[in-house]
Amino acid sequence: MNDEHVPDAPSEFSRLRRFTAVGLVNTAVDLAVFSLLRIGLAWPLLLANSIAFSCAMTCGFLLNRHWTFVDRRHHRAPARQYVMFLALAFGGLTLSNSVVWWLSHSIPDIVSKLVSFVFIFVWNYSTSRLVVFRRRVGAEV
């Protein structure tokens, strides 16, 4: 039996607020890396987007594991959670690249990147809550 204290579960509203705060940090990381690579270094659009997205997702996993879903972090091994998170993040990356590529034909790249965040927020919260950090069946509430 694990004697480590597992924090109480935050309310769903509190969890959503925390996820939003983490999302804002992720957005800053994503935009900073994207701007550096795409605007500063003139890297190809989808390569810059993919690397920026990957940096933000790793940051997001760590913050969500240790803050947003802190009450559920012991339900799976960290490595397994991270692999699941990355697998689902690949779906988010596909969505992000699709939105950025499609919109970049009619609006500036950075604006298409900002629009993609709306879609990614919904995807990430849903997959994080329902898959990566879901409560094990039979786990205490």
For the stretch 97-127, pLDDT in tens is: 999 999 999 999 989 989 998 888 889 888 8
How much is the pLDDT for 8?
64
How much is the pLDDT for 64?
87
58 lies in some domain: yes
Number of domains in the chain: 1
25 lies in some domain: yes
138 lies in some domain: no
How much is the pLDDT for 99?
93
Burial of 42 (0-12, 13-18, 19+ CB in 10 A): exposed
78 lies in some domain: yes
Q: Average pLDDT of 80-102?
A: 89
CA distance 65 to 81: 9
Query: Of 66, 60, 50, 55, which is closest to residue 25 (Cα–Cα)?
Result: 60
Phi, psi torsion values for 19, nearest 5 degrees: -60, -40
Q: Average pLDDT of 13-39?
A: 92
116 lies in some domain: yes
For the stretch 62-84, pLDDT in tens is: 998 888 888 776 666 788 888 88
Give the ranges where 77-135 is alpha helix by DSSP (H).
78-103, 109-127
30 lies in some domain: yes
**Residue 2 above 60 pLDDT?**
no
How much is the pLDDT for 141?
45
How much is the pLDDT for 106?
96
Q: Which domain holds residue 66?
A: 12-132
Are 73 and 116 in contact by the 8 Å Cβ rule? The answer is no
How much is the pLDDT for 10?
67
Sign of the CA dihedral running 66, 72, 77, 82: negative
For the stretch 7-20, pLDDT in tens is: 566 677 888 899 89
